[in-house]
């Protein structure tokens, strides 16, 4: 999934075909579309609204809105970007209407900006020779058989770890690492800076790595 | 020409990929001059050719393109072990010159268990031990000594001259 | 070349991993980061683990949509289709 750095990706020929098919009433194409994007849309919606139930409603409303807006799709952005922008607008509107929405100040996520690796794993700052170095370093996974990492259960653990992240970290890691969005695309959609996005990605990835390490080390033991 | 340490199988350190086979150009080449080699010690040592916008960033040489030329066979487990042992001796010597010192005690203890796989760490500890006794200059001298050790042992070109050329499209 | 100044500890390195992978460090910072990894198996392993974690994440399938939600959307689609094509789409 490539994208130009500065601008939104314009609609691909595939995007235009999809829109045409939808306008012609092709139900199969619509089903494929909702299957591809809905889970991600729910995660993004959860950055703005509090409960999953409300997020699901927002996503439903978004799809209705997408259908109604199809005549206005001009292909100046990719179809995906266009859909998610409608979603983001719907989510923000809904959040404003809801009495208790998730304030943007919590975008950094709980835990603020503390260390992402348990400090106990490092030697103290007062260590005479190796301050701040690993006390219990991570093991290399290079010797691990390929199928271990590719196994379904490994993927499940990673998915679980992602699902347990705070909403904004979860959304960013899902868009970036699971779905393959570029940094620019994520920042544009969520209207956050590169720096903010990187912090969310960093914290999310650190937790997922830790969960994966626990799982794999447990198997190796 | 310059030199590049790599992981086993010409694995590019930290990049998560490998150098292509010798002769084939690749982008984002990283290498070092002889004088800076010790900090980059790893499993294999290669002669590399660099091309296009070659520039120094501290101890690293960066270029638009590079390719492996040939492996420096002399850099093997024996050489690494010899390097580590040589550094261990230096560490013990520095320790002997320093007064009671927790850091130095830790370095010396570390030195006792340095094997061929620890060649890089051995160099690092030796440089730190030198700094503890002789200050920053001591560390610089120790690293220079290590570089000279490698150059002599492996018959490396001491000038570490790089011949940048105008990029020739391949 | 300064050995002692600007040396990174492992605790600092693990907080720079994402910036490194994103290409957000300056060249000088990158080299210092890589110098540390050259001498530190623990941090080299950490970076490798991070890369593999990202790789596994990239292999996750999009989650299945709730059947009920999907049905509702298909229903909505049909309604929309019927409404927007007065001559009757198929």
Q: How does DSSP classify residue B11? A: B
- For residue B60, the model assigns a pLDDT of 96
Q: Where are the domains of chain B?
A: 2-71, 77-154
pLDDT surpasses 80 at A87: yes
Contact yes or no for A185/A81 (Cβ under 8 A): yes
Tokens 């750095």 locate to A5
Q: Give the model confidence (pLDDT) of B120-135 as tens digits.
A: 999 999 999 999 999 9
Helices (H), B15-118: 77-97, 102-111
Strand B44-51 to B26-31 pairing = unpaired
Provide CB contacts within 8 A for B119, sequence distance 6+.
B41, B80, B81, B83, B84, B87
- For residue A101, the model assigns a pLDDT of 53
Q: Do C57 and A162 touch (CB under 8 A)?
A: yes
Contact yes or no for A56/A41 (Cβ under 8 A): no
Tokens 């040589």 locate to B86
The mean pLDDT value of chain B amounts to 90
- For residue A1, the model assigns a pLDDT of 44
Predicted confidence band at B65 (pLDDT cuts at 50, 70, 90)?
very high
Which CATH class, in words, describes the domain spanning A13-97?
A: mainly alpha
- For residue A110, the model assigns a pLDDT of 53
Q: Do B102 and A129 touch (CB under 8 A)?
A: yes
Q: Where are the domains of chain A?
A: 13-97, 104-220
If phi > 0 it is left, if psi is from -120 to 50 it is alpha, else beta; for residue A67 that is alpha
Is A151 in CB contact (< 8 Å) with chain C? no
Q: Give the model confidence (pLDDT) of A106-162 as tens digits.
A: 555 555 678 999 999 999 999 988 999 999 999 989 888 888 888 889 999 999 999
Q: Do C38 and B120 touch (CB under 8 A)?
A: yes
Number of domains into which chain C is organized: 1
Residues from chain B contacting residue C22 (CB–CB below 8 Å): none
- For residue A177, the model assigns a pLDDT of 96
Q: Exposure of B162 by Cβ count < 10 A (0-12 exposed, 13-18 middle, 19+ buried)?
A: middle
- For residue C88, the model assigns a pLDDT of 47
Q: Give the model confidence (pLDDT) of A49-76 as tens digits.
A: 988 999 999 999 999 999 999 999 998 8
Predicted confidence band at B79 (pLDDT cuts at 50, 70, 90)?
very high
SS3 state at B28: strand
pLDDT surpasses 70 at B76: yes
Q: Do B136 and C27 touch (CB under 8 A)?
A: no
Nearest to B66 by CA among B109, B114, B30: B30
Which tokens go with A82? 């266009």
Residues from chain B contacting residue A130 (CB–CB below 8 Å): 106
Query: Would you say residue C89 lies in a domain?
Result: no
pLDDT surpasses 80 at A166: yes
Best to test chain A binding among C6, C8, C10, C47 (most A CBs inside 10 Å):
C10
Which tokens go with C15? 């907080």
Distance CA(B168)–CA(A6), nearest Å, equals 29
Supply the ipTM of this predicted assembly. Answer: 0.88
Q: Do B14 and C47 touch (CB under 8 A)?
A: yes
Provide CB contacts within 8 A for B153, sequence distance 6+.
B74, B79, B82, B83
pLDDT > 70 in chain A, percent: 89
Is A178 in CB contact (< 8 Å) with chain C? yes
Residues from chain B contacting residue C55 (CB–CB below 8 Å): none
- For residue C5, the model assigns a pLDDT of 52
Rg of chain A over all Cα atoms, to the nearest angstrom: 20
Q: For residues B15-37, give the mean pLDDT.
A: 93
3-state secondary structure labels for all residues of C46-87: HHHHHHHHHHHHHCCCCCCCCHHHHHHHHHHHHHHHHHHCCC
Q: How far is CA B33 from CA B62, B83, B95, B152, in A?
A: 11, 18, 30, 14
Q: How far is CA B129 from CA A86, A132, A205, B90, B118, in A?
A: 61, 18, 36, 8, 16
Which tokens go with A85? 């922008």
Q: For residues B12-20, give the mean pLDDT.
A: 89
- For residue C50, the model assigns a pLDDT of 97
Which tokens go with A182? 């570029």
Give the domain range for residue C53: 10-84
Nearest to A135 by CA among B111, B41, C40, C15: C40
State which residues of chain C have pLDDT below 50: 1-4, 88-90
Query: Would you say residue C5 lies in a domain?
Result: no
pLDDT surpasses 90 at B101: no
Q: For C11, which of A56, A122, A194 is closest by C-beta distance?
A: A122
Distance CA(B113)–CA(B161), nearest Å, equals 36
Q: CATH assignment of A104-220? A: 1.10.10.10
- Distance, C-alpha B76 to centroid of its chain: 13
| Chains A–B, number of C-beta pairs less than 8 Å apart | 13
Predicted confidence band at B38 (pLDDT cuts at 50, 70, 90)?
very high
* DSSP state letters, A79-132: HHHHHHHHHHHHHHHHHHHSSS---GGGGG-TTTT--SS-GGGB--TT-SS-TT
């Amino acid at each position: 999934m490539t994208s130009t750095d500065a601008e939104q990706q314009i609609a691909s020929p595939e995007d235009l075909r999809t829109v045409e098919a939808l306008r012609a009433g092709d139900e199969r194409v619509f089903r494929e579309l909702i299957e591809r994007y809905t889970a991600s849309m729910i995660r993004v919606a959860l950055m703005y609204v509090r409960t999953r139930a409300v997020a699901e409603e927002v996503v439903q409303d978004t799809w209705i809105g997408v259908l109604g807006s199809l005549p206005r799709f001009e292909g100046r952005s990719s179809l995906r970007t266009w859909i998610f922008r409608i979603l983001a607008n719907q989510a923000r509107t809904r959040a404003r209407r809801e009495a208790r929405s998730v304030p943007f100040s919590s975008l950094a996520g709980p835990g603020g900006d503390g260390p992402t690796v348990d400090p106990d794993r490092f030697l103290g700052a007062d260590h005479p020779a190796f301050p701040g170095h690993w006390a219990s370093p991570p093991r290399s996974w290079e010797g691990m058989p390929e199928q271990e990492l590719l196994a379904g259960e490994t993927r499940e653990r990673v998915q679980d770890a992602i699902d347990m992240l705070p909403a904004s970290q979860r959304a960013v890691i899902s868009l970036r690492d699971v779905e393959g969005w570029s940094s620019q695309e994520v920042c544009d959609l969520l209207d956050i800076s590169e720096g903010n996005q990187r912090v969310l990605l960093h914290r999310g990835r650190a937790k997922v790595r830790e969960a994966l390490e626990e799982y794999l080390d447990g198997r190796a033991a | 020409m310059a030199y590049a340490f790599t992981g086993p199988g010409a694995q590019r350190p930290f990049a998560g990929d490998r150098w292509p086979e010798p002769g084939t150009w690749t982008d984002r080449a990283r290498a070092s001059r002889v004088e800076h080699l010790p900090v980059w010690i790893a499993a294999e040592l290669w002669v590399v050719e660099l091309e296009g916008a070659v520039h120094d960033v501290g101890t690293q040489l960066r270029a638009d393109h590079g390719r492996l030329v040939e492996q420096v066979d002399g850099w093997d487990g024996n050489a690494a072990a010899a390097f580590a042992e040589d550094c261990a001796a230096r560490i013990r010597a520095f320790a002997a010159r320093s007064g009671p010192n927790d850091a130095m005690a830790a370095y010396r203890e570390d030195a006792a268990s340095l094997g061929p796989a620890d060649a890089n760490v051995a160099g690092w500890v030796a440089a730190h031990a030198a700094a503890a006794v002789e200050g920053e200059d001591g560390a610089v001298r120790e690293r220079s000594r290590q570089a000279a050790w490698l150059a002599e042992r492996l018959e490396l070109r001491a000038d570490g001259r790089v011949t940048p050329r105008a990029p020739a499209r391949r | 070349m300064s050995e002692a100044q600007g040396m990174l500890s492992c605790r600092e390195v693990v907080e720079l991993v994402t910036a490194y992978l994103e290409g957000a460090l300056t060249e000088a910072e990158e080299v210092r980061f890589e110098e540390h990894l050259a001498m530190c198996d623990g941090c080299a392993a950490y970076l490798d683990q991070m890369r593999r974690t990202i790789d596994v994440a990239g292999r996750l399938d999009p989650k299945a949509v709730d059947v009920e939600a999907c049905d509702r959307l298909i229903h909505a689609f049909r309604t929309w289709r019927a409404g927007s094509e007065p001559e009757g789409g198929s």
